[in-house]
Amino acid sequence: MINKIVDNIEKALEGVESNMTFMFGGFGLSGIPENAIASLSQKEIFGLTCISNNAGVDDFGLGLLLQRKQIKKMISSYVGENAEFERQMLSGELEVDLIPQGSLAERCRAAGAGIPAFFTPAGYGTEVAQGKEVREYNGKPHILETALSADFAFVKAWKGDTTGNLIFKGTARNFNPLMAMAGKITVAEVEELVPAGDLDPNQIHTPGIFVQRIFQGAKYEKRIEQRTVRTKK
């Protein structure tokens, strides 16, 4: 089997440079590549374009890269939980491209699947459609959206094996499998790394072909953004 293991996070991040485009899996703070983000926030790389559904919170997730002003442009669907983000956006320091969540997911998937563009009804008649080709299919107007790829995609899975196969847990799957497909170099970090053969091939969510480097994260905080509970009666 092809071995994707890297010895440490430094090796995993080898080749990252200023002005590159990065993708980050995760929804809110769930399923984000915590270790890669923390390590990137220690590096002297700036002018980054980051594609991620959200932008973290002030002191966690992509908020760490924002604090150090490493990000030049964010491509996201929802960014409402981060005061520093808002400040940088309103002051014009940060360029922001907001796109519909389903289009974001599909644009990543399309890049990984070799589809350069597709038509979707989402966003027709809104600001999102400005400058985009419109075509009618089945009597309904659609807009042309193009694929999104990245120099590096950083994803996080629950379990992975040495050949790069990934299994996700719960709703921490979200954008991770799609971004794994769209990265020129996809770096997967996992909670548990096992030898090839230990994972049931029937249960694999992301086949190892989409993963170039894999490592086990040193630790996971897994912060909860909105803790909602019910009380036992």
Partner 1 sequence: MALDKNQIAQRIAQELEHNTYVNLGIGIPTLVANYIPKGIDIEFQSENGVLGMGPFPFEGDEDPDLINAGKQTITTLDGAALFDSSTSFAMIRGQHVQLTVLGAMEVSENGDIANWKIPGKMVKGMGGAMDLVASADNIIVAMMHTNRAGESKILKKCTLPITGVNCVKKVVTNLAVLEVTEKGFKLLERAPGVSIEKIKNATEAKLIIEGEVPEMNI
List residues binding partner 1 (CB under 8 A): 27-31, 53, 76-81, 86, 89-90, 96, 98, 100-106, 108-109, 120-128, 158, 168-178, 205, 222-232
Of 202 and 226, the one with the shorter C-beta distance to partner 1 is 226
Please write down the HEC assignment for all residues of 69-131: CCEEEEEECCCCCCHHHHHHHHCCCCEEEECCHHHHHHHHHHHHHCCCEEEECCCCCCHHHCC
Least Å from the CB of residue 145 to partner 1: 11
Cα 3 to chain centroid distance, Å, stands at: 23
Least Å from the CB of residue 8 to partner 1: 25
Least Å from the CB of residue 203 to partner 1: 12
Of 202 and 228, the one with the shorter C-beta distance to partner 1 is 228
With a CB cutoff of 8 Å and minimum separation 6, the contacts of 50 are: 21, 22, 23, 24, 62, 65, 71, 73, 74, 75
Of 16 and 107, the one with the shorter C-beta distance to partner 1 is 107
Of 11 and 169, the one with the shorter C-beta distance to partner 1 is 169
Q: Which residue has the tokens 């929804």?
A: 27
Of 86 and 192, the one with the shorter C-beta distance to partner 1 is 86
Strand bridging mode 166-167 / 150-161: antiparallel
Do residues 69 and 93 touch, judged by C-beta distance below 8 A?
yes
CA end-to-end span of the chain: 53
Radius of gyration over every alpha carbon of the chain, rounded to an integer in angstroms? 18
The candidate with the shortest Cα–Cα distance to 26, out of 87, 128, 105, 113, is: 105
Least Å from the CB of residue 101 to partner 1: 4
Least Å from the CB of residue 141 to partner 1: 9
Query: What's 166's DSSP letter?
Result: E
Of 14 and 95, the one with the shorter C-beta distance to partner 1 is 95
Least Å from the CB of residue 47 to partner 1: 22
